[in-house]
Amino acid sequence: MNSIPVVEIESSTELKTKTTQTTCPYCGVGCGVTAHVTPTTSGPKVTVEGDANHPSNFGKLCIKGSNLADTLGLETRLLHIQCYAIKTSVNLLIGILQLQRLPIIPAIH
Ligand code: SF4
């Protein structure tokens, strides 16, 4: 009896979902959130759910937390240090502040 050969094809273009444990930024409760980010051809698709193991919320989220994926984004978030709207490093920023601020401290005190 002939059987149909089965060939397993490994897809190198498979879009993998990245899961991150984080906290809700909206209030001081600090509920645990599990965020799933899946790359798609039209941009990343983000979904969130309550972290079942987090002691603040045990998997539950209020209306604000459950809508995090729709209300937060990276478009307007500061993702790196800037000085006068120019991306910089911590050391350079400290140097700039020292040059600007140190001379006026004796004048204040
Ligand atoms: S999910 Fe609701 S209660 Fe929890 S931290 Fe966010 S805003 Fe606060």
Q: Is 19 in the same domain as 69?
A: yes
Q: Is 65 in the same domain as 40?
A: yes
The span from the CA of 46 to the CA of 33, in Å, is 12
Residue of 29, 34, 67 best suited for mutating to test ligand 1, as the one with most atoms within 8 Å of CB: 29
- Residue range of the domain that includes 96: 78-109
Q: Is 64 in the same domain as 28?
A: yes
Q: Is 66 in the same domain as 107?
A: no
Distance from residue 40's CA to the centre of ligand 1 (Å): 28
Distance from residue 46's CA to the centre of ligand 1 (Å): 18
Atom of ligand 1 nearest to the CA of 30: 5
Q: Is 69 in the same domain as 19?
A: yes
Those residues whose C-beta lies under 8 Å from the C-beta of residue 53, and which sit 6 or more positions away, are 32, 59
H helices present in the chain, as ranges: 63-66, 68-71, 90-101, 105-108
Nearest to 46 by CA among 25, 23, 66: 66
| Residue 6, pLDDT score | 57
CA-CA-CA-CA dihedral for 10, 13, 35, 41, to nearest 10 = -150
Going residue by residue through the chain, which has 109 residues, state the pLDDT in tens, using 9 for 90 and above: 456 655 554 554 557 999 999 999 999 999 999 999 999 888 889 999 999 999 999 999 999 999 999 988 777 778 899 988 899 999 998 998 888 888 877 777 7
